[in-house]
Structures are given as structure tokens and as C-alpha cells.
Amino acid sequence: LTAYVMMDKNKMLIKMKELTFEELFRQTHNCLEWKDLQKIKNENAKFKLFNMKNNMIESDEAVRKEFENAEPSFQLLWTPEIIGKTKTIKNALVVMIGISEYIDNKTWSNLPNVKKKDVKNFRQLFEQELNYEFVCNKKFKMEKEDVEEYLTNVKDSHKLHKNKKKYDALIMIISGHGDEGDVLVTSEGDKISVDEIQASFGCRQMKAFKDYPKILIIDVCRGNVNPQEPCSRIKGKNENQQNNSHNGYGFLVIWSTTKGYQVNDSAFFSESMRSTIVSNYKSGCFLHQMLQEIKRDVTKKTGGAYYCVESQDTTAYDIIFQQRKSTFCIGNM
């Protein structure tokens, strides 16, 4: 009775005496290295076992079912011991603004991967995997008034001011051109402050969400410093070219790069967020931990060029994603 266990990126062969979860756990534990034992001791970490489809293994029946395959394989995922306060997101509203078409292409080039890849990656993560309600603009050419109208319609149609649909989190995704001062550049070249978008979902404007997580994921340029020669379109001006504070309790703001720098139209950021969260959320991994892995993954894939993931946090708890159980048809705005 042999099987394989993936530990980090190592494929370990184990031999089992019987097809029970206890035996699988014991044989997996025997494969742990000294650094793993130190992790358990120093980081209050523990591991859980999954099959290669990311389904948790926690019973004898699940073990026996996996052994029906020609090559039984499992994977070990680390999860922390929950000590402090946590909030589990089960029913989030995810709102995405994606702008890929610009009028003046001499100044602002079109960003085809916003439409082709970024929206697809975030939709796969939040709508298809986590089963959250996901709305995104249908037209990817949006002027400033269009963005403002879109956000107003989202708030009204989803009854956010009183949270009548009982969402337990708000997730806002912004992808397009940006510029110095932390702004989103709209299709005609006008600008909207990201701080203003954030403030419109803050505690004063959205009292019903005061105690719920509000996550902003922002993939735009924050200036014109070019960390490396461009290999694809950048999400900023086609020429060389305030520190905004993020007020309001309960916000986790995730930027694809640091202030003053450009990012490109490669979709590495959205792809890394999708793959990392899908691979780890079922084990109860905290979002903060997954962000660290996203940072490492993006840096490795890009060699440190264009992306330097940064987060700003005013929450007082760790965030856990959980797949929403109920299903119903969801349309776009």
C-alpha cells in the first residue's frame, strides 16, 4: 500500500500498513523534516491533508476512496493555530472595476489583459471557486462619470446602505491605468482617487458594514518609476513622468505595487492571487499568510520587476475565506 504525499514541492513516497486516516497521518508525520517540526513549535502551525483536487482528507472513507486511483496522492498544507480574533468570510459581495480601453493611446495605451485575464482570474476565484456574488462592468471603456454611476448603481441595486442582503464582507477590485497620487485613470484620461472610492465604502457612508471586512485589491500604476525595461504594456502613462492615507476601520488594502512605481499588463498579480487562494483557503489559511505567499510568488515569476505587492491593514482580526454553500444565478452590472 504505497502513496505519495506532496510536502511543499517535494514528492514523498509513503508505505501504509492499513487504509485508515490515522495511518496516513502517522506516515506523513514521519516524513516531516527538522524545519517542519520547528515550524510546529515556533509558529503554532499544524498541517492538514488534502487530495490533489484540494478536498480535505479527514476520514478512513476518504483515504480508501483515494486509493482507488492508480497512483494515490495527497498533499500537506500548513495552517496556523487560531489564537487571536478571526472573521470568516462566507457571503461577500465582490465588485470589480476593469478599464482596458482608452481614447488617447499616445498617452494611455489599451490594456487587453485587464479584460482577457484579470477579470477572468478574479471571476474564477471569487465567483466560481468561492461562490461569492461577483459583479463587474460589462463595457471596458469607462469614463469618470461611468465609473461613478456604476458604483452608485451597485450600492443601490445590492441595497448596501442597510445591507439587506446580509453580506459579511465587501471586496472591491480595481484594474486599469493609474498614476501618481494613487488614482484610477478612466478612459478619457480623467482620474478618480482610490482613497475616495475607499471612503465611499467607509464606516460613515456604510454604517451597516462597520464591523465587516472591506478588502480593496488594486492593480494600477502608482507613479512612473520603471523598475525594469518594459516587456509588455504598463498600467501608467506612455511617458516619463501625497502620500494618501487610508482612513476607516476594517479595511485591508492590497496594492500590486508600491507608491511611485509602474506595473505592467501581464496579469501575474491576478493569476497569483487566484492560484494561491484556491490552493490554500480550504485549509483555513489566513489571508495575511496567503498574501505573503502571493508576494513571494509574484517576485519569483517577475524577478522583482513591475510588481511589489503591498498591503495596508486597519482590521483587528485575521481573515479566512470560506466557500458559500447556497447557489443562484448571478449577472453582471
* Greatest distance between any 2 Cα atoms in the chain: 68
In a domain, 327, yes or no: no
Reported as a single tens digit per residue, the pLDDT across 193-208 is: 999 999 898 878 888 9
pLDDT > 70 in the chain, percent: 86
Task: Specify the pTM.
Answer: 0.68
Cell of 141: 471603456
Task: Name the band, by pLDDT with cuts 50, 70 and 90, for residue 247.
Answer: very low
Q: How far apart are CA 134 and CA 117, in angstroms?
A: 16
Band the pLDDT of 236: cuts 50, 70, 90: low
Phi/psi of residue 85, each to 5°?
-80, 135
Q: Is 90 exceeded by the pLDDT of residue 277? A: yes
Tell me which of 7 and 185 has the higher pLDDT. 185
Residue 332 lies in a domain: no
Domain end marker among 80, 100, 132: 80
**Rounded to an integer, what distance in angstroms lies between the CA atom of residue 254 and that of residue 256?**
7
Q: Is the pLDDT of residue 146 over 90?
A: yes
* Integer Rg of the chain from CA: 22
Give the confidence band of 152 by pLDDT, cuts at 50, 70, 90: very high
204 shares its domain with 231: yes
Query: What pLDDT, on a 0 to 100 scale, did the predictor assign at position 333?
Result: 46
Q: What is the pLDDT of residue 80?
A: 62
State which amino acid sits at residue 297.
D
Q: Quote the pLDDT of residue 160.
A: 94
Which of 64, 80, 96 terminates a domain? The answer is 80
37, 57, 80 — which closes off a domain?
A: 80
C-alpha distances out from residue 253 to 172, 250, 288, 319, 325, Å: 9, 10, 11, 13, 26
Say if residue 26 is in the same domain as residue 94: no
pLDDT given at position 232: 47
Contact 289, 322 (CB under 8 A): no
Q: Mind listing the pLDDT tens digit for each residue in 38-89?
A: 877 776 677 889 888 878 888 999 999 999 999 999 999 877 655 558 899 9
Using DSSP, state whether 124 is helix, strand or coil: helix
Residue 329 has pLDDT above 60, yes or no: no
Cell of 29: 508525520
Please count the structural domains in the chain.
2
- Output the average pLDDT for the chain: 85
Which residues form the domain of 239? 86-321
3-state DSSP assignment of residue 207 = helix
- How do the residues of the chain divide into helix, strand and coil, expressed in percent and rounded to 5? 30, 25, 45
pLDDT in tens, 20-32: 999 999 999 999 9
